[in-house]
Amino acid sequence: MKTAIYPGTFDPITNGHIDILKKAVRIFDKVILAVAEDTGKKTIFTVDEREELCRKAMEGIEKIEVTRFNGLVVDFAKKVGAITMIRGLRAISDFEYELSQALMNEKLYSDIDTIFFVPDNKYLYLSSTMVRQVVSLGGNIKDLIPECVEEALLKKRSKE
């Protein structure tokens, strides 16, 4: 059974993340979408909300399990028996950061390998920050986020 983890903050999950996951399940028997409880980022969604949105966004996609983790990502990988970590590589600007993370994770747990997938063209410059900003300012990006995420962002906006 080949299991991989796809860790991230997912504040919120976007179609770019889903694109990466769909590519990963073609290769792995199971992919665990792992929502980091605390990454030092100031998130607009709580971890419960981020996990719930991921769960809803993943409905109907087989071989994906959604969960959350705390602490080192490599400890989580060991716990679930994964030796592969999935990450998305968008623009060149991602490369240095991703490389340093992959190398540090390998130093901490020599069995772990990181596999990078390149998202579809239309998601190459997408980020959760951009999504949050555009929706909060009234922009329409329905094709870049799952419906549940759009609803959740609009709900947050109406409470501001």
Binding mask 28-47 for ligand COA (x = CB under 6 A): --------x--x-x------
Phi, psi of 16 (to 5 degrees): -65, -45
The answer to whether the beta carbons of residues 153 and 128 sit under 8 Å apart is: no
Query: Does position 146 bind ligand COA by CB under 6 A?
Result: no
The answer to whether the beta carbons of residues 25 and 63 sit under 8 Å apart is: yes
Cα 100 to the center of its chain, rounded Å: 18
Residue 90 among the catalytic residues: yes
Stretch that binds ligand COA, among 5-13, 53-61, 134-142, 148-156 (CB under 6 A): 5-13
Give 26's Cβ-side CA count (13 Å radius).
Answer: 6
Residue 41 among the catalytic residues: yes
Query: Does position 72 bind ligand COA by CB under 6 A?
Result: yes
Instruction: Output 20 or 30, the one with its CB closest to ligand COA.
Output: 20
| CB of 72 vs ligand COA, minimal distance in Å | 4
The answer to whether the beta carbons of residues 8 and 36 sit under 8 Å apart is: yes
Query: Does position 133 bind ligand COA by CB under 6 A?
Result: no
How far from 143 is each of 54, 85, 123, 135, CA to CA, in Å?
A: 17, 27, 10, 12
- Which residue in the set 4, 5, 7, 32 belongs to the binding site for ligand COA (CB under 6 A)? 7
Q: What does the binding site for ligand COA look like in residue numbers (CB under 6 A)?
A: 7-9, 11, 14, 16-17, 20, 36, 39, 41, 72-73, 88, 90, 101, 104-105, 119, 123, 126-129
